Amino acid sequence: EAGVAQSPRYKIIEKRQSVAFWCNPISGHATLYWYQQILGQGPKLLIQFQNNGVVDDSQLPKDRFSAERLKGVDSTLKIQPAKLEDSAVYLCASSLGLVSAGTQYFGPGTRLTVL
């Protein structure tokens, strides 16, 4: 079974530029998560989808971050414009079950450096 796929693996941009990340969850997984992991900290949930609907985006900085999951399968996370403090690893995860149940499986992450 293929795991969670993410691209790109690494991205370096200058502040005020825009960037987009892509995630393809495990086939059949209804729930998809985007996390931000700053060095030395645990992952922080940015947004959670159930199929193509948003379940939780309370920690997503909506003035600059946006995410979509068209057709309830793959997802994109965009940052526009980027700030220095956005430097982090962006992790995508998926789970089979409903909103509050099920093992989360993580992709390899995208390491973003904002200069």
Partner 1 sequence: GIQVEQSPPDLILQEGANSTLRCNFSDSVNNLQWFHQNPWGQLINLFYIPSGTKQNGRLSATTVATERYSLLYISSSQTTDSGVYFCAVPKTNAGKSTFGDGTTLTVKP
Residue 91 touching partner 1 (CB under 8 A): yes
Of 78 and 111, the one with the shorter C-beta distance to partner 1 is 111
Task: Decide: is 109 part of the binding site for partner 1 (CB under 8 A).
Answer: yes
Contact by Cβ (8 Å): 38, 88: yes
Q: Which residues pair with 23 in a beta bridge?
A: 6, 75
CB of 6 to partner 1, least distance (A): 11
Question: Could you say which of 24, 25, 48, 69 contacts partner 1 (CB under 8 A)?
Answer: 48
* 53 belongs to the binding site for partner 1 (CB under 8 A): no
Applying CB under 8 A, which part among 14-22, 65-73, 74-82, 92-100 lies near partner 1? 92-100
User: Using CB under 8 A, which of 33, 49, 65, 90 touches partner 1?
Assistant: 33
Taking the complex as a whole, how short is the minimal distance between the CB of residue 17 and partner 1, in angstroms? 23
Q: Would you say 20 or 45 has its CB closer to partner 1?
A: 45
SS3 string of the chain? Answer: CCCCEEECCEEEECCCCCEEEEEECCCCCCEEEEEEECCCCCCEEEEEEECCEEEECCCCCCCCEEEECHHHCCEEEEECCCCHHHCEEEEEEEECCCCCCCCCEECCCEEEEEC
